[in-house]
Amino acid sequence: MYGRVLFYFLCFIKYLRMIDLRGLGIQTFFRFVEFILNVPLHLRRPHSADILVYDSVNREIFQKILFDYSINFLSLRGESFNLPCFLITILGFGFTKEAYVDTYIRLVNPSCLITHIDNRISFLLLSSRHPNKFTILIQNGWRSYDGFFESIDKLPTSTSKLLHVDWMLLFNSDIAFEYSKRIKGNTLVIGSLLNNAAVKEESSDIDCNALVFISQFSDSGIYNGGRYIPHDLIFQQPDTYVLLTLQSYCRSFGQELVILKRCSESALSTLEDNYYKQILGKDINFFQASSLYSGYSYLDTCKVSVTIDSTLGYESLARGNRCVFLPVRGNYVTLYSREMGWPSRIPQHGFCWTNSIEESKCFDLLDFAFNASRDAWDFAYKNSPLVDLMAMDYGNTSLIGLTKRLI
């Protein structure tokens, strides 16, 4: 092993003698060296596989569903770094992330490239460089126009015409239309990969007392159309209004407010705790999901949850659970695509949602969610436009069948 490490080191030194550090940018170079020193290194070449997953987030879901195939994962968030791949890249006079990715793909030589991070434009460009590889994109989160679609619309024509994915697996037909307007390829409506895989908890022991708020905590604002929308406008003001309304409801009707946390990493988890304590006071009940599916299971056993516009809320509603939506961000900043169910055309108010910030309307929705019979809730849902927002494909049979056809 030490001989291999020495060989790689000598190759790296040889490369340093060939490159022009002034052209590369000395600060960029030293940031990269710092990255190399801190990230776990793989000293073996990446193994060949039938499938290469682009971005290793949620890797267990692919191992569970596609167990019939060999799978390799390309880490893009600093989880690990493949040293042989890097050295082969630089010896080919490449020093970009795209060059590293291309080398990794050639070494793994998969039949199919899959990603569960659907808003990475870099994945949409892979087909132009690897035309002989099948590509599959799977929608991971609810998309508004601001952000992903807007960034595509602002690409130069020379780049946008290269966007192609063989198969895009998406939440619903309306969002599929938005993708197909911008990205060449086929679309298939499957709903949510994780939601389809999470076994529904059918329990007679439902917590009728808890009112669960689904956290969408962020520690920063967002960029929209090139302008920065501060955290206060896009997150804190809407969160404060909704949470104080829920707190008032709980005090009036004897419910227990619980925050279903978003963050599991310790530093962000502490920031998330402090954020909600600042809004509601120190005496708060939190639920921390301990696994990929425990958030789904928890909502299955709670009678009512509330969200502003989280993907988990849409997923839970599709599972037959009672979820109230208060998509009020548009009341604080002009973002038309943050209204209920965009891009589907949904009325301003319905049996479990309102875009209004009137407390009385929120209370009415909560009353119905807590007090309606199962038949009344199911009837309201099945006769509303929300029934088409999140498809269900239990066991992800569509992905399994598609993969079988392609590989």
CATH class of 199-388: alpha beta
Q: What is the pLDDT of residue 206?
A: 73
Domain ranges of the chain: 38-191+398-406, 199-388
For residue 265, the model assigns a pLDDT of: 77
Taking the C-alpha atoms of 85, 89, 95 and 101 in order, what is their torsion angle to the nearest 10 degrees?
Answer: -60
Quick check: pTM over 0.75?
Answer: yes
- Could you check whether 38-191+398-406 and 199-388 share the same CATH topology? yes
217, with CB counted inside 10 A (0-12, 13-18, 19+), is: middle
pLDDT at residue 23 tops 80: no
Architecture of domain 38-191+398-406: 3-Layer(aba) Sandwich (3.40)
Confidence of residue 55 (pLDDT cuts 50, 70, 90): very high
Q: In percent, how much of the chain has pLDDT > 90?
A: 71
**To the nearest whole number, what is the mean pLDDT of the chain?**
89
d(CA 61, CA 293) in angstroms, rounded, equals 10
pLDDT per position as a tens digit, 172-196 = 999 999 999 999 999 999 999 999 9
CA angle, residues 114, 87, 16, in degrees to nearest 5: 140
Q: Report pLDDT digits (tens) over 193-236.
A: 999 999 887 766 677 789 999 999 999 988 776 778 899 999 99
Q: Does 31 score more than 70 pLDDT? A: no
What are the tens digits of pLDDT across the range 128-179? 999 999 999 999 999 988 888 999 999 999 999 999 999 999 999 999 999 9
Cross-strand bridge partners of residue 377:
none
- Return the number of other C-beta atoms located less than 10 Å from residue 112's C-beta: 22
Q: How far apart (Å, rounded) are the C-alpha atoms in residues 375 and 350? A: 17
Q: Can you give the pLDDT at residue 36? A: 64
- Please determine, for residue 18, whether its predicted confidence score (pLDDT) is greater than 50: no
